[in-house]
Structure 1
Amino acid sequence: MSVLKLIGVLLDYPQDALWQHGDELLAAVDGPGLPPGRRAAFVQFVRELLASDPLDAQDRWLSLFDRGRSMSLLLFEHIHGESRDRGQAMVDLIDAYRKNGYELDAKELPDYLPLVLEYLSQRPQEEAQDWLRHVSHIVGLLAARAGQRESPYALLLETLVEFADGKLELGALRQRASEEPRDDTPEVMDRLWEDEAVRFGNEAPDENCAPPTRIPARSADIRQVQS
């Protein structure tokens, strides 16, 4: 199977379907699609994931990718932040998908990395590598940050950089990551949501509302992991 599809499935929010199709996942990571030097590590990653309680795995994913912006899997968040340019970039990316017959649900965010990987898994390898080279500086920094936090997800992100034949110096990125202030601590998160609170006239949001998650509505289809 495509290594990009596999990484997209594993990088996505771990829904219950992962455990329901554990045998297919193990067969996929033990197949010929992965680089031989990475295969054993992927097998270990999947075995440890399947051995964990789904709620614990989901909490670990949220703690890494959905608390603070530095580990966001929304690529344009790293490029455009909250500027208006991000909206146009979204439109352009959706148009690129549609030109190749790849339609999104209305609630899907086109720059969500697992979704991007599913799309690229259907494209010629040279084209997929070119796409990933354009964002390899982002993926490489995500890999470095995940490694700094001792997360097993660093494996998936590092493999993406290798697939793109990226020439990034991960050592330098790891050094940068080690010097960055963390943005996922309770104190920082509290300040972030205070700064981003928006009130329209007298219709203020309930102060007890939890901060919004950035997880896209869509998740990769594990049932097609061996396709």
Structure 2
Amino acid sequence: MRARVVRQAASHLLAYPDQPLLDRVPLIRAALAEQRVGSFDELLEHVERTPLAQLQQQYVEVFDLSRRHALYLSYWTDGDTRRRGEVLAAFKQRYRDSGFLVDTSGELPDYLPMVLEYAAVADPEGGEALLREYRPSLELLRIGLEEDGTPYAAVVAAVCATLPGPSPKDRAAVQALVGGPPVESVGLEPYLINGDPRLLPMAGRR
């Protein structure tokens, strides 16, 4: 139950902030307190004391303008390659197989908040397997957020802590977790499209 609560809370807090999120904060606080989870407190306090427009601007700066904080799990493993289309289709198939009805709102199916909701609500066992499969992506996201000192780092760290074993300490340790040579550089270097570095489009932003 604790893991599901952490994942559900994280799915809300890692999504683009809006008024429904602000309205939901007391419920999120209560659910986390019941499970004795305090690692979200810094971000929750930040959300409560920051005007919504400023929160949205900060979110865009953290997640939309930096490859180091990509919220798309297969970006870290497959980048902008042909194989990624197959991977995204596999995410959709997992959702369909579980009966998970999801409005993607223009987001890709590997969008972390969506995956976390799937793991918390629709199919905890299948969601756990999916998060384990993309553990390196989660850890690289966590490391990037920690290095840049954002309050979102503790939320991703809490998600990682719901998975077996300790988190790797650095990028080299993440690569050891993957095993063997880097898979599409595993997010360690910018991906190239037609020879030029380019940010992934973040669909669904307002």
Normalization by structure 1: what TM-score?
0.71
- CA distance in 2 between partners of 1:168 and 1:181 (Å): 17
Q: Which residue of 2 aligns with 1:214?
A: 202
Contact persistence 1:139–1:157 (CA under 8 A): yes
Task: Please state if 1:90 is matched with 2:61.
Answer: no
Deviations 1:75-115 (A, max 9, x none): 11111111111111111211111011013336342100000
Q: Which runs of 5+ in 2 are unaligned?
A: 175-186
**Residue correspondence of structure 1 range 137-156 to structure 2 within 5 A:** 137-156=136-155
Q: Do the aligned partners of residues 217 and 120 (structure 1) sit closer, same or farther apart at CA in structure 2, a change above 3 Å counting?
A: farther
Report the Cα offset of residue 121 of structure 1. Answer: 0.8
For 1:24, the aligned partner's letter is L
Q: Which residue of 2 aligns with 1:73?
A: 71
Q: 2:24 aligns with which of 6, 21, 25?
A: 21
Report the Cα offset of residue 126 of structure 1. Answer: 4.5
- CA distance in 2 between partners of 1:89 and 1:79 (Å): 10
Q: Segments of 4+ in structure 1 off by > 6 A?
A: 180-183
Q: Which residue of 2 aligns with 1:6?
A: 9
For 1:25, the aligned partner's letter is I
Deviations 1:168-193 (A, max 9, x none): 32x223999xxx9998xxxxxxxx9x
Task: Please state if 1:128 is matched with 2:116.
Answer: no
Q: Do the aligned partners of residues 50 and 166 (structure 1) sit closer, same or farther apart at CA in structure 2, a change above 3 Å counting?
A: same
Report the Cα offset of residue 28 of structure 1. Answer: 2.3
Q: Which residue of 1 aligns with 2:113?
A: 114
Q: Do the aligned partners of residues 136 and 119 (structure 1) sit closer, same or farther apart at CA in structure 2, a change above 3 Å counting?
A: same
Between Structure 1 and Structure 2, the one with more helix by share is: 2
Q: Do the aligned partners of residues 96 and 175 (structure 1) sit closer, same or farther apart at CA in structure 2, a change above 3 Å counting?
A: closer
| Partner SS state of residue 40, structure 1 | coil
Contact persistence 1:147–1:174 (CA under 8 A): no
Q: Give the total of aligned pairs.
A: 187
Q: 2:60 aligns with which of 48, 59, 62?
A: 62
| Partner SS state of residue 2, structure 1 | helix
Deviations 1:101-145 (A, max 9, x none): 013336342100000000111256444333212111111111111
For 1:214, the aligned partner's letter is M
Normalization by structure 2: what TM-score?
0.77
Rg larger for: 1
Report the Cα offset of residue 21 of structure 1. Answer: 2.9
Q: Do the aligned partners of residues 100 and 124 (structure 1) sit closer, same or farther apart at CA in structure 2, a change above 3 Å counting?
A: closer
Q: Do the aligned partners of residues 140 and 79 (structure 1) sit closer, same or farther apart at CA in structure 2, a change above 3 Å counting?
A: same
- CA distance in 1 between partners of 2:34 and 2:89 (Å): 36
Contact persistence 1:102–1:119 (CA under 8 A): yes
- CA distance in 1 between partners of 2:188 and 2:126 (Å): 36
User: What is the RMSD of the two structures over their aligned residues, measured on CA atoms?
Assistant: 3.1
Fraction of identical pairs, as percent = 24
Contact persistence 1:14–1:54 (CA under 8 A): yes
Q: Which runs of 5+ in 1 are unaligned?
A: 184-191, 198-210, 219-227
